[in-house]
Amino acid sequence: MKKTIIIALFASFFLASCSDEKAAEKKQMDAVIAIHDSVMARTGTAMKYQAELDSLYLKPNTDTLTRKTIADLRGKLILAESAMETWMHKFDPDFSGKQHADIMNYLGEQHKQIHRVDSLVNKAIADSKQFLEAK
């Protein structure tokens, strides 16, 4: 009887810890995906600014300095878009057979990476917006 109670207690502790681990993994995954979704929501703005910059660049009366600035801003937008595509291509949400610690480490690193991408996108959009509003 004692053995059965001990086994039942151990099993319930084990199941509770597994449940806590899964909840922590889900929370971390949700944080990564939230940043991803936020960046994706701004890609339309980045594409719009890129098109506006292209139009300005092609105007015949655009001076050399302005063209250089436009090229730099377009480069930032393209780099940000490329960083997002690279991150999405490399992100692997399949954790089959992986240990909790490995999953949490992976998701922690992915959170840092997608946050860097978010910063690149924000900076490229803000710089482009500032330039375009001044024109």
In the chain, where are the structural domains located?
22-134
| Global confidence as pTM | 0.85
- Residue (of 92, 91, 99, 135) closest to 117 by Cα position: 91
CB atoms within 10 A of CB 118: 19
Asked if the model's pLDDT at residue 126 lies above 70, the reply is yes
Asked if the model's pLDDT at residue 1 lies above 60, the reply is no
Asked if the model's pLDDT at residue 70 lies above 50, the reply is yes
